[in-house]
Amino acid sequence: MQGLPDNTALLASVEAFLKDQVIPGLDGAGSFRARVSANVLGMVRRYLEQGGVDGAHDEREMLTQLTGKKGTLLGQTAELCHQIAEREVALDDPRLQEYLWRTILARVAVDQPNYSGYKRAVEQWEAAADSLTAPLSDDEPFNPLSGER
């Protein structure tokens, strides 16, 4: 195990340095590229923050139940694609629906948590969450993959 500070804290520190110290001194094109670079660091930081809940384990378990097959995450995902294309799974299968909602929300939470379509989807998911998840509390960030805060 690495010592302190955490990987995520180091990334946050570099993001803040870029945004607060570097970008204000750059011209248009340079400033754009530096902002994108800071956003890319944010993506990696959020992935590491989410990694604590072992999302891949949950995703594989859902895929095993959904496709009836075990394998690597990539192999199971390709198998599900095959079953959708070959019409071996119904589009209104609630397991397919729940798998898509959980995994896509988790993915965009890393890639682009400020994306308008993501925010709207999270509102819809939380409104439906009573019947889908354990009660939510407010002190931890929303984790779509586990459905827990």
Partner 1 sequence: MAESVSDSSVAADLAAMTEKLTKVVQRLRPGSRVENIVRLTGGANQQMWSFDVVGQGDALPVVFRQASSWNQGAEGIMSLENEAVLIGRAGKAGLPVPEVYEVLKPEDGLGSGYLMARISGETLPPKILRESRFATARSKLAGQCGEVLAGIHQLPVGDLGFLRKLTPAEMLEALYQEYQSYEEPRPMFELAFRWLRDHVPADPDTLALVHGDFRHGNLMVDESGLASVLDWELAFLGDPMADLGWLCVNSWRFGNIDLPVGGFGTREQLFKGYRAAGGQSPDPQRVRFWEILGTLRWGVMCQGMAASFVAGHDTSPERGAIGRRASEVEVDLLRELVPIPERRAFNAGFA
| Binding-site ranges for partner 1 (CB under 8 A) | 33, 36-37, 39-40, 43, 57-58, 61-62, 65, 74, 77-78, 80-81, 84-85, 87, 91-102, 104-105, 107-108, 111-112, 115-118, 120-121, 124-125, 128, 131-133, 145-148
Burial 50-67 (b: 16+ CB within 10 A, else e): beeeebeebbbebbeebb
As measured in angstroms, the least distance from the Cβ of 137 to partner 1 is 16
8/112 with CB nearer partner 1: 112
Residue number, 4 or 91, with CB nearest to partner 1: 91
In order of 27, 50, 76, 111, the CA distances from 16 in angstroms are 18, 20, 38, 18
Distance of CA 119 to the CA centre of its chain: 13
Give the span between the Cα atoms of 36 and 82, in whole angstroms. Answer: 35
For residue 126, the minimal CB distance to partner 1 (Å) is 10
Q: How far is the CB of 51 from partner 1 (least distance, A)?
A: 15
